[in-house]
Chains A and B, each alone.
Chain A
Amino acid sequence: MDNDQGLGRRRWQLAALLSAPMLWLGVAYLGALAVLLVSAFWTVNGFTGEVVREFSLQNFRTIVTEEVYRNVTLRSLGVAVAVTAICVVLALPMAFYMAKVASPRTRHWLVIAILTPLWASYLVKAYAWRVLLANDGPLDSLIGTPGYGLFAVVIVLSYLWLPYMILPIYAGLERLPDSLLEASADLGARGGRTFRGVVLPILVPSIFAGSIFTFSLSLGDYITVQIVGGKSQLIGNLVYANVGAANNLPFAAAIACVPVLIMVVYLTAVRRSGALEEL
């Protein structure tokens, strides 16, 4: 095949493959995000409810100067980190058992057991936790309940996102050859040592991949907080309150910049590990 001609054809093929997805994600989606970002610099006329399209830093000034926004941001970050940590701690042994200990037949059923709860509505599960955690509820009569509040939010969010952490770790472990574990054992490493020295480093991208789910889903949640959060509020609630009820899209957009910034920083940080391809 003529090389030049081949190159030209490949270029056409590439263009054909990329144009639609890039139009969708690169132009439409990024465009929508960009418009949202721009609108954060606008304000709303209180009388007509119309957006005033004049550049203003007022929204950002409010967010930076008012203490409450800093507190809520830190609180939301804390919740997201705690949820991610709990999910990792629970998911590692579970995924390890599934991938390396269970018989193939059991493994098959365990995967189904982890996947099916994803189909039961998120809301129904959150409400079930509200009942579990109630005063005089099932948990209260067994071990006592922490009551509604931030702690309850962390528990429920960890519950909701746990499968999203188990699955990538399980997939990562499945690809890990058994011979590697055996070799480590042959060289005299004990279980814990093998895990820390051999398994964990290989799993890092998978853990990061799972954490993208648990971290971002926790950071953006506003419904679980309403159900079990007592009187606490997270950053998602602030965005929702301003866009939903107050009709103040510019201010909501300005608040939304905070989690976007956090996630972009986080994604860039974990990207080098290859985590993005483990999702």
Chain B
Amino acid sequence: MTRWVLRSVMALGLFFIYAPLLLVLVNSFNGDRTFGWPPHDFTTQWWSAAWHNGGARDALWTSVKAGLGATAIALVLGTMVAFAVQRFQFFGRDTVSLLIVLPIALPGIVTGIALDSAWRSVIAPLGLGKGLFSVIVGHATFCVVTVYNNVLARLRRSGVSFEEASADLGASPAQTFRYITFPMIRSALLAGGLLAFALSFDEIIVTTFTAGPGIQTLPIWIFNNLFRPNQAPVVNVVAAVLIVLSVLPVWLAQRVAGPEAGASRT
């Protein structure tokens, strides 16, 4: 019986999650410019408008660049801290995880205005104005935690015996890392990196405050266009396409790293 209850809750939950997304899809064919309900006319004009919308493509590309940049930094920094915390004893070790969690635990608007004013008063005078780079910096700051936690958990579970064995057998530290350590944490890196990328990809609040003039990530583009009725339905098309496209990286990650990679640790 419990099984049935659980199954119905799962079904209801999925309905709760997907009904609004279905509405997005329906409205992308709705002739009405401001999502009137019920839809009167069926049209594919928004899909063709989206196809010809160079701004959306540029914004998508900007978002991908920002996401990749932030993910790369998060992978490096997150892995370094995870190794330090797991393999070394040092003063203040316990506060490290607090520090790493902080950027994502504090409301985005706080991180956003803090980074913005710091950038303006410290970095901008050095001649580096806000641009795509400042977006990457902002995103990387709150993405480190996903990689850190995934790698840390993996290191805890796997211990150091293989690495010690490798060293005993005469492998150089580089060889040990290349052949033992990296394969061991690869799926954790993938899981953490994927989540970091997803966080960056849909981030809007920190981006609002760290983006330089002219830098438009996809969420910012959506923000700007959702509020212009001529463009609002095009946004639905873009969202529908994103949902479909997003299955790909998630599915791929699951194939490569097993079911836990996609989800394991948020």
Q: Interface of A with B (CB < 8 Å)? A: 10, 13-14, 17-18, 20-21, 24-26, 28-33, 35-36, 39, 90, 93-94, 96-98, 101-102, 104, 107-108, 110-125, 127-129, 131-132, 134, 136-138, 159, 162-164, 167-168, 170-171, 174, 191, 209-210, 212-213, 216-217, 219-223, 236, 239-240, 243, 249, 252-253, 256, 259-260, 263, 266-268, 271, 276-279
Closest-CB distance, A214 to chain B (whole angstroms)? 11
Taking residues whose C-beta sits less than 8 angstroms from the other chain, chain B's interface range is 35 or more
Contacts of A267 in B (CB 8 A): 98, 101-102, 105
The 3 tightest CB contacts between A and B, nearest first, are A220-B107, A119-B246, A32-B118
Stretch at the interface among B40-48, B175-183, B198-206: B198-206
Name B80's contact: one of A10, A20, A102, A118 (CB within 8 Å).
A20
Closest-CB distance, A171 to chain B (whole angstroms)? 5
A115 to B265, CA, bound (A): 12
Is there contact, CB below 8 Å, between A35 and B106? no
Q: Interface of B with A (CB < 8 Å)? A: 2-3, 5-7, 9-10, 13-14, 16-21, 23-24, 27, 35, 37-38, 76-78, 80-81, 83-84, 88, 90, 97-111, 113-115, 117-118, 121, 140-141, 144-146, 149, 152-153, 198, 201-202, 204-205, 218-219, 222-223, 226, 232, 235-236, 238-239, 242-243, 245-247, 250-251, 254, 259-260, 262-266
Is there contact, CB below 8 Å, between A32 and B115? yes
Closest-CB distance, B180 to chain A (whole angstroms)? 17
Name A277's contact: one of B7, B76, B97 (CB within 8 Å).
B97
23 A-B pairs, CB-CB below 8 angstroms? Answer: A18-B84, A26-B99, A29-B102, A29-B114, A32-B117, A33-B114, A36-B114, A108-B254, A111-B262, A114-B263, A116-B247, A118-B202, A122-B202, A123-B235, A127-B232, A131-B37, A167-B263, A216-B106, A219-B107, A221-B107, A243-B113, A249-B113, A252-B113
Contacts of B223 in A (CB 8 A): 123
Contacts of A39 in B (CB 8 A): 117
